[in-house]
Chains A and B, each alone.
Chain A
Amino acid sequence: MATLVKLYSQLEQIKEQYFIRNRIAEEHRKRENQAAVKIQSWFRGCQVRGYLSHLHKNATSIQKIWRGFIARKLFRHRLKAAYFIMKIHFYKKMAVKIQKRWRGYYVRKYIHNYYARKRYLEGLTRKNNQIRRDLEEFAELQRRERERITLEKEEREKNIQAQRLHFLLSTKQCPGVYNSPFKTEPDEMELRLRRVKPRSAPKERKTPKIPPDLFNLTPNRDRLPPIHQKPQGPFRSSLEVQQQRYRPLEPSLRVATSITALEEAREELRRQEWRTRVIDQPFLPFLNASPKKRYEGLMHTSTPFEQVGYGIKHFREEQKEDLQGKKPFKTVFTTCHIFDKFGRLYSNAGNIV
């Protein structure tokens, strides 16, 4: 109870204190409220910030991991693409190489081969030079041939001239026209005169080969007997006329062969045989062409000339005892009816019906 009395004594004080404290509190309430609010807000803010930063960290972490994942995926794609492009480049380079070779080959083979053309032109030049050389040689040969022929002709003419003028040959007593005493050497014509034989009387022309039995029938061809006093018509040369008049006899084969031609021919053959046969023993071919092959003799020579032991003595022999009771063979066959109707017509015209 003491406390209670104390308390009641202090009641006024308490009330006063209460009012003072309230007043003070009231005065400080706003400030203290604001301070409390401030503290609370700051603390709440810290809380929230902490929470936010926690969330941020988590979000960053997730994003970090996600971005890494995506980026690695992208990188793999890019790597693949780069690898692919690298391969494509490589293939393109190889394709260029192939195309380069192919185009060169194709152009050279089908369109225009420079080296082939070069070789062709070189070959052509060589061929041209060869042809030129050959033609030159040929022309040279022809020219020499012609010169030779003209020289020979001149030579022959000079010889004929010398033959005709053989009397101009110089003698010991008197030098000839071509052998002037004032010159050291005799003239070329003089030497020719000495060399050449004088022309003899016109000699017998060689008769063509005719068989001796016709010799007496052909006429003499040496002289051409004169026909007319005046010369012939203007379009026949004497050579032609002579040829025409003395055309050689061209006997047929029958006329030209002598009557004993056959005997002569045989005689000739015999003589030829006697002449040419050097070896008397005729040359025989090899007897045993194939020594392995056995010679099969004829049946006639190899079988003994004896009776055949078949059971009958001769080929056509008949055994009369065996044939006793038997009927002889029918030698006539039954007719076939193919020709029954032959000649038998349906009408009376043939008159066989």
Chain B
Amino acid sequence: MSQRQVLQVFEQYQKARTQFVQTVADLATRPQNIETLQHAGVMSLLRPLLLDAVPTIQQTAALALGRLANYNDDLAEAVVKGDILPQLVYSLAEQNRFYKKAAAFVLRAVAKHSPELAQAVVDCGALDALVISLEEFDPGVKEAAAWALGYIARHNEQLAQAVVDAGVAPLLVLCIQEPEIALKRVAASSLSDIAKHSPELAHTVVETGAIAHLAQMILNPDSKLKRQVFSALGQIAKHSVDLAEMVVEAEIFPAALASLKDPDEYVRKNVTTLIREITKHSPELAQIIVHVGGVAAVIDYLGESKGNVRLPGIMMLGYVAAHSENLAMAVIVSKGVPQLAICLEEEREDHIKAATAWAFGQIGRHTPEHARAVAVANVFPKLLHLYLNTQNSEDLQVKAKKALKSILQKCTYLPALEPLLYEAPSNILKHVICQFSKVLPHDSKARRLFVTSGGLKKVQEIKAEPGSAIQEYIDAINSCYPEEIVRYYSPGYSEALLERIDNYQPV
């Protein structure tokens, strides 16, 4: 045959290969095709195409592999077992930017499923190659590399440490300063994944000067970027007081409070998480947040949101109130208690109700003023029901009981204590009676009210062992009243009177 005919055979083969690989890549975008592709043995067919002479075929094959591995972890394991990773890593250093993007995509898709796969990716030496890609000019390549590194670092502390040891943190901080929004997003997300595991890693991230750049991006209009930025700041601040102070010194407040009105739900949630992580460490930090108006903003946020995203807000209020009674009074003054009562009413999830109960306990336990504010919001019956309802989880019951006990020990607001007399079990009743015995000796109006509302009658009906604490309190209460009244209300008095009729002889 002539030379042209010979070459034509090769051209046809190349066209066939190109078409195959492009079609597979297109099919791999749809999840329903992937099963079929897997059964047809696409992995073994794609592998040699990675080493193809034509660059387009290589890139398309890498892209198809990435999409397949992205779908589920069996395919990702198949990629690892097929020894494809070393080839990819090698070519990551060599080839042009489209191939680098595709290869980084494959590494990301493999690493995202589980720590073992991520470890396998790291073991092939992918980290150095990815770091080199991070130093490229093309923003797409940087984005793909940063994303892959973020997914590797996400799983556990050792992997994050390995990523940091490869020298990734300064490069990510440089990526954050780039003008492309997608790159900023991915870099912020990767920093967040690195910093979340331990204080040392968070320190490493902070030493590269990440906080200043993250703080600058708070007012960026892009919602997804703000999500990642606030998440990163929250992960940094959560570990220790110093880190939280560094985050606060970057002067993110009060600008961060404006993001509490962002239309995107996750931005609001991440801001609230950040505020929670800051306030939980020390009273000074909580004081800063209170002064800046953070408490009011978070309470409004609680009013506007529903469901699981309320949890960080509720915990933040609890942490603020826990530090000192000044701060708890600040929470009360900012109208936090009615809002928390609404949350307790509306939410159905146990862990949110447990958090609300805990927050109430922290607010009300300081002084009688605080306990009164909590009592006025009609919270006690609800807490009691939460405690007594056996269908609730253990955690919820325990938290409700603790909250109730700690508030009751300071409560002197009698109208709220009265309903508890009727329904409470004995360990709660003890505290209720104790409070009554403290207040009644000094207040005559309260004594009168106590009698007319039937409280004295109920108290007489309580059976207590003599010598126990309850008996002492009951005696203290009885000693506030003249003996006739006590006898009148004691159980069995009407029978005793009637018996006297039997024994009475008219003159």
Are B295 and A233 in contact, CB atoms less than 8 angstroms apart?
no
Please give the number of chain B residues whose Cβ is less than 8 angstroms from any Cβ of chain A in the complex.
30
Does B254 sit within 8 A of A, measured CB to CB? yes
Given contacts A124-B290, A125-B333, A233-B59, whether A131 and B261 have CB atoms under 8 Å apart is no
User: Is there contact, CB below 8 Å, between B102 and A235?
Assistant: yes
Given contacts A124-B333, A131-B293, contact A233 B257 (CB under 8 A): no
| Residue A218 interfacial (CB < 8 Å) | no
Question: CA A287 – CA B56 in complex, angstroms?
Answer: 81
Does B26 make an interface contact (CB < 8 A)?
A: yes
CA A276 – CA B250 in complex, angstroms? 49
Bound: A157/B257 CA distance, A? 35
* A21–B247 alpha-carbon span in the complex (Å): 153
Asked if A161 CB lies within 8 Å of chain B CBs, one says no
If A124-B290, A124-B333, A233-B60 touch, whether A135 touches B257 (CB-CB below 8 Å) is yes
Given contacts A233-B22, A234-B22, contact A124 B63 (CB under 8 A): no
**B-contacting residues, A117-148, CB 8 Å:** 117, 120-121, 124-125, 127-132, 135-136, 138-139, 142-143, 146
B107 in the interface (beta carbon within 8 A): no
A132 touches B329 (CB 8 A): no
Question: Is there contact, CB below 8 Å, between A125 and B334?
Answer: yes
**Candidate in A120, A135, A136, A143 with the most chain B CB atoms within 10 angstroms:** A135
Query: Is B50 part of the contact surface with A, judged by Cβ < 8 Å?
Result: no
- A125 surroundings in chain B (CB, below 8 A): 333-334
Q: Which residues of A contact B22 (CB under 8 A)?
A: 233-234
B485 CB within 8 Å of chain A: no
Tell whether, in the assembled complex, residue A135 and residue B261 are in contact, meaning their CB atoms are under 8 Å apart.
yes
Cα distance A121–B295 when bound, in Å? 13
Distance in angstroms between the alpha carbons of A135 and B26 in the assembled complex: 47
In this complex, what residue of B is CB-closest to A136? Answer: B261
Q: Closest residue to B254 on the A side, CB-wise?
A: A131
Would you call B281 an interface residue if the criterion is a C-beta within 8 Å of the partner chain's C-beta atoms?
Answer: no
Check A234/B261 contact, CB under 8 A, given A124-B333, A128-B295, A132-B297: no
A236 CB–B CB distance under 8 Å = yes
Q: If A146-B263, A234-B25, A234-B26 touch, does A128 touch B60 (CB 8 Å cutoff)?
A: no
Please report the total number of A residues contacting B with Cβ < 8 Å: 22
User: Which residues 281-307 of B sit at the A interface, judged by CB distance below 8 A?
Assistant: 290-293, 295-297, 300
Nearest chain A residue, comparing its CB with the CB of B334: A128
A238 to chain B, nearest CB (A): 15
Using a CB-CB cutoff of 8 Å, which residues 212-271 of chain B contact chain A? 254, 257-258, 260-263
A128-B25 contact given A135-B261, A142-B263, A233-B60, CB 8 Å threshold: no
CA distance A142 to B290 in the complex (A): 25
A120 to B25 Cα, complex, angstroms: 65
Question: Which chain B residues lie closer than 8 Å to A117 at the CB level?
Answer: 326, 329
Residue of B with least CB distance to A135: B261
Alpha-carbon distance A127/B59, docked complex (angstroms): 58
Chain B nearest Cβ from A146, distance in angstroms: 7
Assembled-state Cα–Cα distance A63/B333 (Å): 84
Are A233 and B56 in contact (CB-based, < 8 A)? yes
Chain B residues contacting A139 (CB-CB under 8 Å) are: 261
Q: Is B330 among interface residues, defined by CB-CB distance under 8 A? A: yes
Which of chain A's residues have a CB closer than 8 A to the CB of B257? 131, 135
CB distance from A241 to the nearest CB of B (A): 12
| CB-nearest residue of chain B to A127 | B293
When distances are taken between beta carbons in the complex, the residues of chain B under 8 Å from A146 are 263
B98 within 8 A of A: yes
Task: Indicate if the CB atoms of B258 and A135 lie closer than 8 Å.
Answer: yes
- Asked if B260 and A135 sit within 8 Å, CB to CB, the answer is yes
Q: Which residues of A contact B292 (CB under 8 A)?
A: 131
- Taking a contact as CB atoms under 8 Å apart, the answer to whether B258 and A138 are in contact is yes
B67-110 CB contact bits vs A (8 Å, 1 = yes)? 00000000000000000000000000000001001100000000
Which of A135, A142, A233, A235 sits near B297, CB closer than 8 Å? A135
In the bound complex, CA of A117 to CA of B258 (Å): 28
- CB-CB < 8 A to A233: which residues of B? 22, 56, 59-60, 98
Chain A residues within 8 Å of B263, by CB: 142-143, 146
Chain A residues positioned under 8 Å from B293 (CB to CB): 127-128, 130-132
Contact B25 A121 (CB under 8 A): no
What's the nearest-Cβ distance from chain B to residue A95, in Å?
A: 32
Complex CA gap A231/B92 in Å reads 26
Instruction: Please state if A235 and B63 are interface contacts (CB–CB under 8 Å).
Output: yes
Chain A stretch 91-139: residues in CB contact (< 8 A) with chain B: 117, 120-121, 124-125, 127-132, 135-136, 138-139
B296 touches A128 (CB 8 A): yes
**Whole-angstrom CA separation of A127 from B291 in the bound complex:** 8
Closest to B22 in A: A234
Task: Give 1 or 0 for each of A135-172: 1 = CB within 8 Å of chain B CB.
Answer: 11011001100100000000000000000000000000
Alpha-carbon distance A89/B260, docked complex (angstroms)? 66
Residue of B nearest to A232 (CB): B56
For A234, give its contact among B63, B101, B260, B333 (CB under 8 Å). B63
Contacts of A136 in B (CB 8 A): 261
Bits for B155-178, please: 1 = Cβ < 8 Å to A, else 0. 000000000000000000000000
Q: A240 — nearest CB in chain B belongs to which residue?
A: B140
Check B296–A138 contact: CB distance below 8 A.
no
A234 touching B60 by the CB < 8 A rule? Answer: yes
A128-B293, A131-B254, A233-B56 known; A121 and B330 CB under 8 Å?
A: yes
In the assembled complex, which residues on chain A have CB atoms less than 8 Å from the CB atom of B261? 135-136, 138-139, 142
Q: Which residues of B contact A127 (CB under 8 A)?
A: 291, 293, 296
Provide the bound-state CA to CA distance between A220 and B329, in Å. Answer: 72
Q: What is the minimal beta-carbon distance from A231 to any residue of chain B, in angstroms?
A: 9
CA distance A121 to B43 in the complex (A): 68
Q: How far is the CA of A150 from the CA of B260 in the complex (A)?
A: 22
Give the residue name and chain of the A residue nearest to B26 (CB): A234
A110 CB to nearest chain B CB (Å): 15
Among A128, A130, A136, A236, residue most surrounded by chain B Cβ atoms (within 10 Å): A128
Q: Chain B residues with Cβ under 8 A from A236's Cβ?
A: 98
Rounded to whole Å, the gap between the CB of A190 and the closest CB of chain B is 36
In chain A, what residue has the closest Cβ to B23?
A234
Which of chain A's residues have a CB closer than 8 A to the CB of B56? 233
A131 engages B330 (CB within 8 Å): no
Using a CB–CB distance below 8 Å, which chain B residues touch chain A? 22, 25-26, 56, 59-60, 63, 98, 101-102, 254, 257-258, 260-263, 290-293, 295-297, 300, 326, 329-330, 333-334
The 4 tightest CB contacts between A and B, nearest first, are: A131-B293, A128-B296, A139-B261, A128-B334
A128-B333, A142-B261 known; 4 new pairs, CB 8 Å cut-off, are A124-B334, A127-B291, A127-B296, A233-B98
List 26 A–B pairs whose Cβ atoms lie within 8 Å, in order of A's numbering.
A117-B326, A117-B329, A121-B329, A121-B330, A121-B333, A124-B334, A125-B334, A128-B295, A128-B296, A128-B333, A130-B293, A131-B257, A135-B257, A135-B261, A138-B261, A142-B261, A142-B262, A142-B263, A233-B22, A233-B56, A233-B98, A234-B22, A234-B60, A235-B59, A235-B101, A235-B102
